[in-house]
Amino acid sequence: MFIVHVFVHVKPDQVEAFKAASLANASNSVQEPGIARFDVIQQQNDPTRFVLVEVYRTPQDPDRHKETTHYMAWRDTVADMMAEPRTSIKFTNVFPNEQGWDSAK
C-alpha cells in the first residue's frame, strides 16, 4: 500500500464548504479500483485544519486519481478556500501489509 497524508488549512469562513466538497470527492474516490481507503479528518482543537488520508494500492494510483473528474472538480472548488497551500507526506505501510490487510480488521 502507498499512503498519502494531505494537510489542509482552510479559511475559517470556508470550513463547511470545504467539508462538503471533500466529502463529495471522497465518496467518489473510494469507488476507484486503486484506492483502498480515503479518509477526511478534521482537527478537534482547530476545525480549520484537515488531513486527507489516502491509501492507494500501488504507487501509480495517486496519478490515476488526479486524472479523475471528481478530483479535478475538488481541486478547483477548494483552491480559494485554502488559508495556505496544502502539503503532503508520502508513506509506505509496514503493518498491515497486503497479506495482513483484511486480517487487521
Kind plus residue range of the DSSP H or E element containing 78: helix 69-78
Is the pTM of the predicted complex or chain greater than 0.85? yes
Task: Output the pLDDT for position 97.
Answer: 67
**Residue 27 region, left (φ>0) first, then alpha (ψ -120 to 50), else beta?**
alpha
What residues does each domain of the chain span?
A: 2-94
CATH 3.30.70.100 fits 2-94, yes or no: yes
- Alpha helix stretches (DSSP H) within 11-60: 15-29
Provide the grid cell at 58: 500501488
* Sole residue written with cell 500501488: 58
Q: Does residue 20 sit in helix, strand or coil?
A: helix
Q: pLDDT, tens digit, for every residue of 6-65?
A: 999 999 999 999 999 999 999 999 999 999 999 999 999 999 999 999 999 999 999 999
